[in-house]
Structure 1
């Protein structure tokens, strides 16, 4: 995880990037009311490439040490769990989705893209 103060990339799920999903996500808010977006690999040019459903979260609340402390705070945990679930449910209403664990966080979008690329075949098999 990052040691700086830049926002982190929070990943809710894996889905297929489609125009319909992009429209749905345009009005969707996730944790801390952050906009929810699709993050794809730069090299994936297939008609419906896999994408991470993401939003940016504050470093000070989601870095490794902050998460350890927050997991003891049931009120904070409930809010994050509900926001995570609501995003996953909204995507699942539109298409097949592969939910990821709550608090799947990457240092930045580039690291998230790298993880998506490294795990693409596993994600594709599970979504099939």
Structure 2
């Protein structure tokens, strides 16, 4: 009985982890998601904010917000951190420094954010 409970618990945990990993693919254009910094930003998404939280492992900063850009109309403007490349069809209009985009534990005032524009 105890073995069966353990197997069921592991199966449930695996299913939950799969559901969380699949969440970005089901997002609508413009949706945001908060994830741990160790999570790779999916294709078509950009990082929009970085911070430190107790729920994610690792050093500071260890959390980020990502935004789904796929499907947004031409002409849309989005502020994004320079920690990921812009998706295809998006152009960097402006580069600047943002306190929300400090994705390194080493302080810097170098430009770390972009104003992106959907061009195609």
Give the TM bin, normalised by the shorter chain. under 0.3
The normalised TM-score by structure 2 is 0.24
Greater helix proportion: 1
The normalised TM-score by structure 1 is 0.23
